[in-house]
Structure 1
Amino acid sequence: MMKLAKRMSLWVVLGAVFFMIIQVISDLYLPTLTADIINNGVAKGDTDYIWQVGFKMLGFSLISIAAATGNVLLASRESQKLGKTLRSDIYKKVSNFSNDEFDQVGTASLITRTTNDVVQIQNVVMMFLRMMIMAPIMLIGASFLAYSKDAQLTKIFIIVLPVLAIFIGLVMVFAVPLFKSIQKKTDKLNLVFREGLTGIRVIRAFNRSNYEADRFKEANQDYTNTAIKVNTIMSFMLPVMTFIMSATNIAIIWNGGHYIADGTLEVGNLISFMTYAMQILMSFMMLSMVFVFVPRGQASAARINEVLDMESKINDPKTPAQLPTTKQGTLDFNHVDFRYQGAENLALKEIDFHAKNGQVVAIIGGTGSGKSSLSNLIPRFYDVESGEIKIDGIDIREMKQHDLRNRVGFVPQKAVLFTGSIRDNLQYGKKDATDEEIWKALEIAQSKDFVSELPDGLDTFVEQGGGNFSGGQKQRLAIARALVKQPDVYVFDDSFSALDFKTDAALRKALKPEIKEAIVVLVAQRISTVVDADIIIVLDEGQVAGIGTHQELKETNVTYQEIISSQLREEEIA
């Protein structure tokens, strides 16, 4: 928590402390003025004195209100500013995460940490700049002033305060662990809810709506039960505090009445003592609330710091390599090994191939053979375990990630479109792309016809995730986005899977003349997609089972022959 508190402005905190001290001093002085009015004004019938002290009370009340306003303004601004800073820092940090870090934390948890956990920190900061400052000052000040009014009556606190401390301690013992567990259960609730929304079509297709509803109900009920339990415990605070305050007032009035009868205590002093007693108890209660909620904020702070302190495994080199002014147009995999975090076996082993400008390198293999793993290594979403990947003769680990990804146009398996217009999406990799460049990319990607038929053309609104387009349309738009960028290396990770054979063939034919100054890495499962590739790499269980052209592999490679026979009829193979 202290680590996050360092992000706060020292001058704002000092300002909040100053205003709070002024407010507390004003509030503490008011009961003394009340005693003066009663003792020297009411008791003696001195109206002028009552007016004089009354105006003084009004002045201190106005000062208290102004100071409270200043404190709340500074506290709220600083807490909201801290929340804004934390959300921004988390987003920037997460944006630089490698896929390993995403897999480690989880998307649902990252959302919870960026929203719910940050709100908890904001609440604690607000509470700190209000209650944490007010409570100890008022507790000490009110205790001193109460003692000055009547030392005998202060003995009541010897009984009251230990009882209050024991009660608050019990509340903390039971409530704090529950507050901490609520954050984890919020993660679980967000996870189930997010999966239910993103996978709604699959859920309906398999008639699993009731199962998912029960799954959500279970997570929701678990969160609800915990929240009810902790709020039930906290609900005892107010009635018990009311009871203790009432009992304290009764004891003060009972004993104070005897002292007044004996002539050792004035009525005004008794009234002011009762006010100070309430301030003491309220200060004690405020401190207890701080001690109850700070652990919850501490749990949230730990979760936020876990993200902010997490070191990405993929970082820019301290001294990046200077990119050559003249591009060689080469892509080299030199004895590359790769494994996913925590995995026993290598996902890729001894991958070795070389490609140059104008060549199409096709990657084909069975499910789980490592095709997507290989394509994810090129833009450095993961780092190799051994070996090296070079573009233009430079190891990609020696390049800045920004420079590397500027040279790579990546189209993932699942086409991703962002909310906005078609133009916005296609300019994602090249902000200054002209309409002419966009239409040309759409034409190559076989998207020009359906986009031109839309009423708004390039200005057609794209819903979240491209929900207003079919799977094939989204895939073609994603391909067009990569084409607009005009990179040195195109990576198509099974990006033609939603296209029919005719569109697939037309797209590859239109693409061929456009890649003379680029390298294409084409991951595919269909033989028809890779048949015209210059180099075909056959993967089997993460290893290269063969490299060559379609004709060469068809005649000599067993694994490739098996893939062909599983997809084509005998007369088509010939």
Structure 2
Amino acid sequence: MIKLAKKRVSGWAVFFAIAFMTGQVFTSLYLPNLTSDLVNYGVAKGDTNYIWSAGLKMLAVSVLSVIFSFGNVYLAAKTSQGLGQRLRQDIYEKVLYMSNDEFDQVGTSSLITRTTNDVVQIQNVAMMALRMMIMAPIMLVGASFMAYQKDAQLTSIFVVVIPIMVVFVGVVMYFAVPLFKAMQTKTDNLNLVFREGLTGVRVIRAFVRDAFEQNRFDEANKDYTRNARKVFSIMAVMFPLMTLIMSGTNIAIIWNGGHLIANQAMAVGNMIAFMTYAMQILMSFMMLSMVFVFIPRGQASAARIHEVLNLKSTLTPAEQPKTFADEPETSLDFDQVVFRYHGAEHLALTGVDAHVTKGQTLAIIGGTGSGKSTLINLIPRFYDVETGAVRINGLDVRDVDQQQLQSEIALVPQKAVLFKGSLRDNLRYGNPEATDEELWHALEIAQSTDFVKEAEGLDTFVEQGGNNFSGGQKQRLAIARALVKKASVYVFDDSFSALDFKTDSNLRRALREDESIQKAVVVIVGQRVSTVADADQIIVLDEGKMVGIGTHSELKANNETYREIVESQIKQGGEMHE
């Protein structure tokens, strides 16, 4: 936890927070002494002037204590909240540059929990550290010394009380700390089930699995609730027992102090001050116990955040990154590509070899699970090849700075993703300087002008995830967004699947005729033969192996796997639409 805070917290803020807290503690310790003097020398002797003098001193010290307290609270809050802000920022930045392997290791639901709940735990501990953790030991030592000064004989009460409190706090920590640690993992699981239910709500309804998913969520919810109930029940017991101990201490002080006062061995004011110091000592122990209970939970959260921030990327950056030429000779090469997912026994891709240059279209076709999307993910370097190489414009993607590499690629993923805001902002996502004319041109190629004009044009509001558009409309808008970005390689990962055959054909024709696209390489992943038939080269994948490459007519004549795909779609009437 200290490592996390070290570079994210101002040393001066911490120093002044400690200074203000020290001032607050000393003023708090001085007030009972003033009360003692006021009773002993003012009230007991009927000296009104002394009462006024002591009262004004007490008022001044109280005001000073409030100022010190305000300064400490302000700096503690600013420091802890600033720490949380920087942690969230660092985690988010780390997530943005994670490889897909790293995402798979942590999981989306766990990342959300770590960015929210875990960061809050660290913020709470930071706040407690700058408040209770500083106040408690200083108050404990100072109050003990002042109490001893007032009456050494009465301090023997603490010899009995303090060991009882230490044992009690130890027992509470023994049972509560493991439960606090377990809460983070159970929060992860609860978020996972809840998130799956939200994202898959349509599937759940379609398969009438409402009761099953409700039971699944209920189990995760009850598991979390049982754990929370146990830990907070233990913590709830702590406060009345501590109150009982403090009340018992007060009774012991009054009982013994009363005898001392009766024997004129102790002044009344001293006993009042001693009782205040006793409460300060016991409250210090109570604060320390709270700190010791919450620190392990904060440490568990810190370890989880460390795990994210210290994840070593499987994508090793180039020591001396190369840069693309200002006017590169556009090309895309797969050079005997072999790829295996992290921890997998079997290869996901093997023997992929292809070369295309500007103005050409490379299509990839194959059955479900054949490795089409895996191959596409190697182009923007979401994964690294095991052997072989992927080259863009003659440079190995591993030798190029990742941001520059991805600036040369316009990708349309399988699942069209739109962001909340205006349609204009969504289309400009890859090219903020694009003019409205360029946006409309991209929409025209993507066969989207009709439904966009029927709405509010480029000012059309896009809901979260693009939920106010149909699946086909979202795909076309995602395609338009990619076209607005001027790139060397345009990658369409099964991006025409929601389009009817006529729209699909018109869109591909518009792509071929566009001047800027003719200067780039186009890569299309498709399930339908009609989508890939007019490509310059078609890669045929089967269970991760490249079993053929060529034009539609060549593969249809010579490749059995491709011929089987064609024949299966002819039987379904798919080829008739070409």
Q: 1:572 to 1:420 in 2, by over 3 A?
A: closer
Shift of 1:571: 9.4
- Who is 2:461 aligned against? 461
C-alpha contact (below 8 Å) 2:339/2:386 kept by paired residues = yes
Rounded to whole Å, the distance in 2 between the matches of 1:5 and 1:427 is 38
Rounded to whole Å, the distance in 2 between the matches of 1:230 and 1:55 is 46
Instruction: Please state if 1:506 is matched with 2:506.
Output: yes
- Who is 2:59 aligned against? 58
> Which SS does the other structure have where 1:351 is aligned?
strand
For residues 93-138 of structure 1, the C-alpha deviation after alignment (integer angstroms, 9 at most, x for no partner) is 1111011111110111111111111111111111010000100000
> Which SS does the other structure have where 1:432 is aligned?
coil
- Who is 1:405 aligned against? 406
Instruction: Please state if 1:174 is matched with 2:172.
Output: no
For residues 37-91 of structure 1, the C-alpha deviation after alignment (integer angstroms, 9 at most, x for no partner) is 1111111111111111111111111111111011001111111111111111111
- Who is 2:44 aligned against? 43
For residues 242-295 of structure 1, the C-alpha deviation after alignment (integer angstroms, 9 at most, x for no partner) is 100010011111111111122211111111111100000000110111000011
> Which SS does the other structure have where 1:568 is aligned?
helix
Shift of 1:410: 0.4
Rounded to whole Å, the distance in 1 between the matches of 2:203 and 2:418 is 20
Matches within 5 A, 1:129-208: 129-208=130-209
Matched to 2:447, the amino acid is Q
Matched to 1:432, the amino acid is E
For residues 344-387 of structure 1, the C-alpha deviation after alignment (integer angstroms, 9 at most, x for no partner) is 10100111111111111110001110000000110111111111
C-alpha contact (below 8 Å) 2:530/2:574 kept by paired residues = no
Rounded to whole Å, the distance in 1 between the matches of 2:127 and 2:414 is 46
- List runs of 5+ in structure 1 lacking aligned partners: none
For residues 209-247 of structure 1, the C-alpha deviation after alignment (integer angstroms, 9 at most, x for no partner) is 121111111111111111111100000111001100010
Shift of 1:569: 3.1
- Who is 1:558 aligned against? 560
- Who is 2:11 aligned against? 10
Rounded to whole Å, the distance in 2 between the matches of 1:390 and 1:273 is 80
C-alpha contact (below 8 Å) 2:530/2:575 kept by paired residues = no
Matches within 5 A, 1:139-538: 139-454=140-455, 456-514=456-514, 515-538=517-540
For residues 531-569 of structure 1, the C-alpha deviation after alignment (integer angstroms, 9 at most, x for no partner) is 111101100111111111111111111101111111113
> Which SS does the other structure have where 1:236 is aligned?
helix
> Which SS does the other structure have where 2:382 is aligned?
coil
Rounded to whole Å, the distance in 2 between the matches of 1:296 and 1:503 is 56
- Who is 1:78 aligned against? 79
For residues 414-470 of structure 1, the C-alpha deviation after alignment (integer angstroms, 9 at most, x for no partner) is 01111111111110111011111111111111111111111x111100001000000
> Which SS does the other structure have where 2:315 is aligned?
coil
> Which SS does the other structure have where 2:530 is aligned?
helix
Shift of 1:315: 4.3
Rounded to whole Å, the distance in 2 between the matches of 1:379 and 1:412 is 12
Shift of 1:158: 0.7
Rounded to whole Å, the distance in 2 between the matches of 1:387 and 1:151 is 82
Shift of 1:572: 8.3
> Which SS does the other structure have where 1:497 is aligned?
coil
Shift of 1:324: 2.1
Rounded to whole Å, the distance in 2 between the matches of 1:124 and 1:464 is 35
Q: Higher mean Cα deviation, 242-251 or 511-520?
A: 511-520
Q: Work out the percentage of aligned pairs sharing the same amino acid.
A: 66
TM-score, reference length from structure 2: 0.98
Shift of 1:182: 0.6
Q: 1:26 to 1:518 in 2, by over 3 A?
A: same
Matched to 2:380, the amino acid is P
> Which SS does the other structure have where 1:77 is aligned?
helix
> Which SS does the other structure have where 2:14 is aligned?
helix
Rounded to whole Å, the distance in 2 between the matches of 1:324 and 1:316 is 20
Rounded to whole Å, the distance in 1 between the matches of 2:511 and 2:88 is 42
> Which SS does the other structure have where 2:468 is aligned?
coil
Rounded to whole Å, the distance in 2 between the matches of 1:570 and 1:504 is 18
- Who is 2:547 aligned against? 545
Shift of 1:318: 2.5
Q: Higher mean Cα deviation, 94-103 or 206-215?
A: 206-215
- Who is 2:95 aligned against? 94
Matched to 2:4, the amino acid is L
> Which SS does the other structure have where 1:15 is aligned?
helix
Matched to 2:460, the amino acid is T
Rounded to whole Å, the distance in 1 between the matches of 2:402 and 2:574 is 44
Rounded to whole Å, the distance in 2 between the matches of 1:382 and 1:167 is 54
> Which SS does the other structure have where 1:184 is aligned?
helix
Matched to 1:547, the amino acid is I
Shift of 1:530: 0.8
TM-score, reference length from structure 1: 0.98
Matched to 1:448, the amino acid is T
Matched to 1:102, the amino acid is F
Indicate the RMSD between aligned Cα atoms, in angstroms. 1.2
> Which SS does the other structure have where 2:430 is aligned?
coil
Q: 1:194 to 1:159 in 2, by over 3 A?
A: same
Shift of 1:181: 0.7
Matched to 2:475, the amino acid is Q
How many pairs are equivalent? 573
Write out the 4+ residue segments of structure 1 that deviate beyond 4 Å after TM superposition.
Answer: 570-574
Rounded to whole Å, the distance in 2 between the matches of 1:315 and 1:92 is 17
- Who is 1:107 aligned against? 108
Rounded to whole Å, the distance in 1 between the matches of 2:308 and 2:546 is 37
C-alpha contact (below 8 Å) 2:472/2:499 kept by paired residues = yes
Rounded to whole Å, the distance in 1 between the matches of 2:330 and 2:42 is 97
Rounded to whole Å, the distance in 2 between the matches of 1:395 and 1:262 is 94
Matched to 1:271, the amino acid is I
Rounded to whole Å, the distance in 1 between the matches of 2:275 and 2:111 is 50
Q: 1:483 to 1:346 in 2, by over 3 A?
A: same
Rounded to whole Å, the distance in 1 between the matches of 2:483 and 2:533 is 22
Matched to 2:171, the amino acid is L
Matched to 2:554, the amino acid is E
> Which SS does the other structure have where 1:414 is aligned?
coil
